[in-house]
């Protein structure tokens, strides 16, 4: 065997060995580490898919029952978010000095008001200061300005919740008679909050007589207009204010009047009209507003109509036409004869019947003396 044949045989052996090594590598079973890695990858993929499906299922919108009392953050559905202020009432009190770091202007105003008298244990500053009304301030401090009882309803406080803060003290005051009719009153039924009228952090403009009417006129704009009529009570001059006649916290009388009737309210100033009289004028003793428009009128003496037409609403028979038992030159509301001077200046029933509210004169049956 020559040299060339030996070289060819050696080359064939080398090539055969390389082929066997490649086949062996391809058929070798996977190691345990490789198996574990592949299983972990598959499990992660399946978990991610499962979480996505579960999350999609939980976010399905549902109709929330108004009576649902589930605590926020513990509800099943994702759109009912957690309340970051939960547990605020159990927080610690910080004291007025801490409040003053941010609210110095309010602290200064309160210290010269009835609410800021620390020597009086009945007042907020005689207890926990600002936090007597606004609740513990620890979470308010930690959340940089949130989580506090807002008297303006900034954080969703209802009118009832805000009013309760005031009534917790003001229902036990010696002057509570002014508020005994609050529940069920007109203002309470209209969902007015105490702070709708009262200012706590600034000089109280609803108690001050010089500014009280403007506070009331914020809602009662029709009454403001009446005060600008030709004849009115001295409301704009602040000689008479709303609370002289009305109790804004409610009363047992009509229209939140302080007295039980309209007449009793009027008699507090107009005592000479009370009577009793020997000769009564019945509309007077029945209801003053039958003749008078109390907040303002375009006719003299706050009358609902000008004199003759006002009287003829009851005394319809005292006319020239049809009645025939009175003076010829009477101001008939339906007389077409211009000769009777229907609108002659100064003609008025009260020119003769001067005692329209009643008379004690023995000859005063016609209320003329």
pLDDT digits (tens, 9 = 90+) for 315-349: 876 655 554 556 555 555 555 555 555 445 566 78
For the segment 13-39, the average pLDDT, to the nearest whole number, is 59
| Lowest mean pLDDT segment, chosen from 168-172, 334-338, 355-359 | 334-338
Residue 135 predicted with pLDDT over 50: yes
What does the angle CA 147 – CA 153 – CA 157 come to, to the nearest 5 degrees?
70
* Residues 185 and 252 placed together within one structural domain of the fold: yes
Residue 330 maps to a domain: no
* Residues 252 and 183 placed together within one structural domain of the fold: yes
Q: Which of 101, 109, 102, 104 is nearest to 201 (CA)?
A: 109
Q: In the 8-state DSSP scheme, what is residue 366?
A: T
Q: Tell me the pLDDT band of 24, cut-offs 50, 70 and 90.
A: low
* Residues 196 and 255 placed together within one structural domain of the fold: yes
Residue 75 has a pLDDT of 47
* Residues 122 and 198 placed together within one structural domain of the fold: no
Residue 70 predicted with pLDDT over 80: no
For the segment 152-164, the average pLDDT, to the nearest whole number, is 86
Work out whether the CA dihedral 293, 296, 299, 302 comes out positive or negative: positive
pLDDT digits (tens, 9 = 90+) for 218-271: 999 999 999 999 999 999 998 999 999 999 999 988 999 999 999 999 999 999
Domain boundary among 208, 234, 267: 267
pLDDT digits (tens, 9 = 90+) for 137-154: 888 888 877 888 888 888
* Residues 109 and 188 placed together within one structural domain of the fold: no
Domain boundary among 236, 267, 298: 267
Residue 240 has a pLDDT of 93
* Residues 187 and 144 placed together within one structural domain of the fold: no
* Residues 142 and 186 placed together within one structural domain of the fold: no
Rounded Cα distance, 357 and 369, in Å = 11
What does the angle CA 259 – CA 357 – CA 291 come to, to the nearest 5 degrees?
70
* Residues 129 and 183 placed together within one structural domain of the fold: no
Rounded Cα distance, 263 and 148, in Å = 47
Bridge partners, residue 359, by sequence = 279
Rounded Cα distance, 231 and 233, in Å = 7
Domain boundary among 267, 285, 311: 267
* Residues 187 and 227 placed together within one structural domain of the fold: yes
Domain count, the chain: 2
Do 139 and 87 touch, CB atoms closer than 8 A? yes
* Residues 201 and 143 placed together within one structural domain of the fold: no
* Residues 115 and 190 placed together within one structural domain of the fold: no
Residue 32 maps to a domain: no
Residue 292 maps to a domain: no
Please give the structure tokens belonging to residue 120: 């009086």
Residue 246 maps to a domain: yes
User: Which backbone phi and psi does 202 adopt, to 5 degrees?
Assistant: -150, 165
Rounded Cα distance, 365 and 212, in Å = 44
Residue 356 has a pLDDT of 92
Residue 129 maps to a domain: yes
Residue 110 maps to a domain: yes
pTM of the model: 0.67
Q: In the 8-state DSSP scheme, what is residue 99?
A: H
Do 163 and 118 touch, CB atoms closer than 8 A? no
Q: CB neighbours (10 Å) of residue 331?
A: 22
* Residues 182 and 250 placed together within one structural domain of the fold: yes
Residue range(s) defining the domain that contains residue 140:
90-148
Residue 314 maps to a domain: no
DSSP letters for 171-236: TSSTTGGGGTT-TTSHHHHTT--GGGT--SSS--TTTSHHHHHHHHHTT-HHHHHHHTSSB--TTT
Residue labelled with tokens 């549902």: 62
Residue 309 has a pLDDT of 80
Please give the structure tokens belonging to residue 24: 């062996």
Residue 254 maps to a domain: yes
């Amino acid at each position: 065997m020559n040299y060339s044949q030996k070289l060819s045989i050696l080359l064939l052996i080398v090539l055969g060995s390389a082929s066997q090594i490649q086949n062996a590598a391809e058929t070798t079973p996977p190691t345990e580490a490789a198996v574990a890695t592949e299983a972990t990858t598959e499990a992660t993929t399946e978990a991610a898919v499962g979480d996505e499906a579960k999350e999609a299922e939980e976010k399905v919108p549902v109709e929330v029952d108004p009576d649902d009392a589930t605590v926020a953050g513990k509800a099943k559905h994702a759109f009912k978010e957690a309340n970051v202020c939960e547990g605020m009432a159990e927080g610690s009190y910080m004291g007025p000095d801490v409040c003053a770091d941010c609210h110095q202007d309010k602290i200064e105003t309160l210290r010269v008001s009835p609410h800021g008298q620390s020597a009086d244990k009945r007042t907020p500053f005689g207890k926990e200061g600002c936090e007597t009304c606004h609740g513990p301030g620890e979470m308010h401090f930690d959340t940089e300005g949130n989580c506090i009882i807002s008297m303006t309803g900034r954080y969703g406080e209802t009118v009832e919740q805000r009013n309760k803060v005031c009534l917790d003290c003001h229902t036990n005051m010696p002057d509570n008679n002014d508020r005994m009719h609050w529940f069920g009153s007109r203002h309470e039924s209209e969902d007015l909050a105490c702070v709708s009228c009262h200012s706590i952090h600034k000089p109280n403009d609803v108690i001050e007589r010089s500014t009280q009417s403007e506070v009331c006129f914020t809602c009662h704009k029709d009454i403001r207009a009446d005060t600008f009529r030709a004849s009115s009570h001295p409301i704009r001059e602040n000689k008479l204010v709303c609370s002289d006649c009305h109790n804004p916290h409610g009363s047992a009388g009509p229209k939140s009047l302080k007295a039980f009737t309209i007449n009793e309210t009027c008699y507090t100033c107009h005592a000479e009209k009370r009577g009793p009289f020997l000769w009564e004028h019945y509309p007077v003793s029945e209801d003053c507003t039958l003749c008078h428009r109390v907040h303002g009128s375009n006719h003299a003496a706050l009358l609902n109509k000008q004199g003759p037409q006002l009287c003829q609403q009851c005394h319809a028979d005292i006319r020239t036409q049809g009645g025939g038992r009175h003076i010829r030159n009477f101001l008939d509301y339906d007389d077409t004869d211009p000769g009777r001077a229907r609108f002659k200046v100064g003609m008025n029933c009260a020119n003769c019947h001067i005692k329209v509210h009643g008379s004690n004169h023995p000859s005063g049956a016609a209320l003329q003396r």
